[in-house]
């Protein structure tokens, strides 16, 4: 992974994500682009063009100064000493502007702050983050505001034993391999043990044909309540990050029960969530 794009609205909710993005980019020797998107007041658009142009230039300069000050305050270094590319953009919807910038810098990962738990996708992650997961050209990492980056030693990914899961694991290894992260791939089943074990064998064989990575652990868990069982597994493994695959028509967030699980993961485990989207994983 060569380029990270971190987007901030200067809120306290986005501070942990900045610290996480900066530390992870340094560990991976990746370029970090820090982005702030603002909206010009509608009254600007009604002014004459010359006045509007001056106001726009002034607004960009002011927001750039705020961005530099925000990074310097929380990273405890002067802006000129930080190996960061600062970027200011204007427009709405904000999610679309973030995606535009991600495409321009060829971002491999977008990092944002996560919001508190809620039954609604928009309230849980924030409408901007929710839109990013659905439309971004790369994975989205949502970092809760109480996370303190101590490195990433373990990641958990829940698999449905689908072909798309194999492509997702390939993508995860791009992050895992340079840091020698333990990947814990788990399948939660309410079916009989023999069927699940046969599926696991097929999945392991297919994966071994696609990737070469030794630090992978495969687990099966059984339970009538699939979501409680997965939460128990996460508590048992205590990962530093949980990855999930957004599927069109079915996803951890869009499905009510999955969404409730993610809510519990956020409110109880306080774990960064790395979201891949099925439409991007083969790219």
Both tokens of 133, joined, read 């997961």
Closest among 164, 151, 107 to 132, alpha carbons compared: 107
Instruction: Work out the pLDDT band at 192, boundaries 50, 70, 90.
Output: confident
Predicted structure pTM score: 0.85
pLDDT digits (tens, 9 = 90+) for 123-168: 334 566 767 877 889 999 999 888 889 999 999 998 888 888 999 9
Q: How many CA atoms lie within 13 A of 91 on its CB side?
A: 11
- Fold type of domain 154-277: Rossmann fold (3.40.50)
Helix ranges (H only) for the chain are: 15-27, 42-45, 49-75, 94-105, 121-125, 127-135, 163-179, 193-210, 226-237, 256-264
Residue 251, pLDDT score: 44
Q: Please give the Cα distance from 257 to 181 (Å, whole number).
A: 29
Closest among 253, 272, 255 to 263, alpha carbons compared: 253
Model confidence at 46: pLDDT above 60: no
Match 């980019």 to its residue by tokens. 25
Domain 3-143 belongs in CATH node 3.40.50.1970: no
Q: Per mean pLDDT, which range of 30-39, 69-78, 115-124, 202-211 is the poorest?
A: 115-124
CATH 3.40.50.620 segments of the chain: 3-143, 154-277
Instruction: Work out the pLDDT band at 253, boundaries 50, 70, 90.
Output: very low
Residue 47, pLDDT score: 53
Both tokens of 111, joined, read 């990092």
């Amino acid at each position: 992974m060569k380029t990270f794009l971190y987007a901030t609205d200067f809120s306290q909710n986005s501070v942990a994500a900045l610290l996480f993005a900066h530390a992870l980019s340094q560990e991976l020797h990746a370029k970090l682009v820090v982005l702030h998107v603002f909206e010009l007041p509608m009254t600007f658009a009604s002014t004459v063009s010359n006045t509007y142009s001056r106001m726009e230039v002034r607004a960009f300069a002011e927001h750039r100064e705020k961005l530099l000050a925000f990074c310097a305050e929380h990273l405890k270094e002067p802006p000129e000493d930080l190996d960061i590319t600062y970027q200011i953009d204007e427009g709405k919807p904000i999610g679309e502007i973030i995606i535009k910038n991600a495409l321009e810098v060829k971002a491999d990962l977008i990092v944002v702050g996560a919001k508190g738990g809620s039954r609604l996708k928009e309230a849980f992650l924030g409408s901007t983050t929710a839109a990013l997961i659905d439309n971004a050209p790369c994975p989205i990492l949502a970092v809760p505001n109480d996370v303190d980056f101590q490195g990433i030693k373990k990641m958990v990914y829940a698999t449905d034993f689908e072909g798309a899961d194999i492509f997702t694991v390939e993508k995860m290894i791009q992050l895992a391999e340079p840091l020698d992260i333990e990947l814990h791939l788990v399948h939660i089943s309410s079916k009989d043990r023999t069927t699940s074990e046969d599926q696991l064998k097929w999945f392991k064989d297919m994966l071994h044909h696609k990737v070469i990575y030794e630090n992978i652990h495969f687990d099966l868990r059984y339970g009538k309540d699939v979501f409680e069982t997965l939460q128990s597994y996460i508590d048992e493994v205590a990962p530093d990050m949980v990855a999930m695959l957004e599927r069109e028509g079915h996803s951890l967030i869009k499905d009510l029960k999955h969404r409730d699980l993610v809510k519990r993961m956020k409110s109880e485990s306080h774990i960064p969530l790395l979201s891949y989207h099925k439409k991007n994983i083969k790219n």
